[in-house]
Amino acid sequence: QVQLVESGGGLVQAGGSLRLSCAASGSIFSINRMGWYRQAPGQERELVATITSRGRTNYSDSVKGRFTIARDNAKNTVYLQMNSLKPEDTAVYYCNLCNLFEGGTGFHYWGQGTQVTVSS
């Protein structure tokens, strides 16, 4: 079992910044992918950014150039630095961990979510 605990959400003005953190514990594979997804009211949950154990990153087009994902493998923690925030970024942000098998796929685990609200 894997547990994920997010922190760092809050209310900010447009153009401001927030840094989200997610600490993972439990049965974590050495080879894994961690990341962030978000869900706005009335919308489906969507990918924001992911990062593998080796540091390979992937970003949604909507956040490229504004958000940066990073991780501390020693702490099993992933971070999301969000700059130049827009009201459209308002959503519940969920931390995700996927234990990867040989084929590059695996089981997903989710955090409880943290609210990010960007005012205009």
Q: For the chain, how long is the longest CA-to-CA vector?
A: 45
Residue 103 has pLDDT above 80, yes or no: no
- Among 44, 40, 8, 12, smallest CA distance to 117 is for 12
Q: How far apart are CA 73 and CA 97, in angstroms?
A: 13
Calculate what percentage of the chain has a pLDDT beyond 90.
88
pLDDT tens figures, 23-80? 999 999 999 999 999 999 999 999 999 999 999 999 999 999 999 999 998 899 999 9
Which residues partner with 107 through β-bridges?
99
Residue 104's pLDDT is 73
